[in-house]
Amino acid sequence: MKNIKAGLLGRKLGHSYSKIIHSFLAPYSYEMFECEENEVESFIKNGPFDAINVTVPYKKTVIPYLDELSDKAKKLGAVNTVVRRKDGTLYGDNTDFYGFSYMLDLAKTDVSGKKVLVLGAGGASATVCAVLSERGAGEVTVFGSRDNTLENVMRCKDAEIIVNATPVGMYPDCDGCPIDLSLFEDCKCVLDIVYNPARTTLICAAEKRNIKTATGLSMLVAQAKRACEIFTGSEIDDSKIPEITDKIEKMQENIVLIGMPGCGKSTIGRIAAERLNRTLADTDEEIVKLAGKDIPSIFAQDGEDVFRAYESRAIAALGKLSGAVIATGGGAVKREENYLPLHRNGKIVFLDRDIDSLDTKGRPLSQRDGVEKLYSERIGLYRAFADVTVKVSDDAEETYENLINALGMKGT
């Protein structure tokens, strides 16, 4: 198994998680192979691989160069797994079918007889529709980009399940959302094949409405597990899928620190970044870069509203990071618009420190309004934003340990 040369073929692979996922599955080498379309034929025929995955835009492109296809690959007209057999012939399969099937199971969603809206008319959509058909879905409506009009949407507003099979909402254009979920009052489940960010705007909208969800990371890991089985000829227990998904989530999600001015966000953030080998991003530092002056000067010369506008811009930019530690300003929670960019790809941690221990030096609002007033105004907002709350002590090391335990990252 160690001698297998595996990898991923695609055009742009800079943000792929495939290499790390496969490193958790088996000890073979796994490399990224970026090719332009005119290079695909030569690579498939002569490339340095024993087995590869294929991603967009080449899932159909590779088919003419393969000697045999699985029944699933033939049915879907797309290949995402290629194996060079001992006799030199090339076999193509499709594990996306398995991946989306797992995604449905994870969401505990029975599609039998249900009305489903599928967004997207490309290869991913074909896979989704094939799984839905096999599982006995009722009326399935597919919207390509040209079909996604308000008039058409209103005809499908009684859809019970919605699947996003488009790249809308994917990094770096995280603000995108393929539909207005508020129009679908009967919707019980939302599935989004996008895996970066961890939660798309569509998934966040579903969470807000207490609708069941599943994200693209579960599908990505599941299809990789099935591809690994094809590469090696060995079965892997399905329990590896949630185990690896959890590892990837913890590695890729930001740790976002919120709390009162002077509660220790910068200090704890620095320790966390060093111990976890992560980038430390500070919204106050980003604001200074945007404004070209320090924060007390912004307040004195431009006022709080201008400062908050800079802050929202800084949060929108830093929220697109992956695997970072982000320390926010004490008032980041004052604007509801700041929640989504922080939540989409992060776990938000409220660092709760006793009022008497808060440092007010160099903090304009703490000095102007008083700590007690600020705390009473913001405590509800901190709790509403936070995924977890960590009590801050005078011992920064102890607080860091409490943070890691609260995030379930002990030992990482």
Q: What amino acid positions are annotated as catalytic residues? A: 59
Kind and range of the H or E run holding 388: strand 388-391
Task: List the beta strands (DSSP E) in 325-374.
Answer: 325-327, 346-352
CB hemisphere CA count around 303 (13 angstroms): 2
Tokens of 292: 């070209």
* 3 state DSSP class of 346: strand
Strand order in the sheet with 161-164: 140-143, 116-119, 161-164, 189-192, 212-215
Long-range contacts of 180-187 (CB under 8 A, 24+ apart): 180/153, 181/205, 181/206, 181/209, 181/211, 182/209, 183/153, 183/154, 183/157, 184/117, 184/157, 184/158, 184/159, 185/157, 185/158, 186/157, 186/158, 186/159, 186/160, 187/159, 187/160, 187/161, 187/162, 187/211
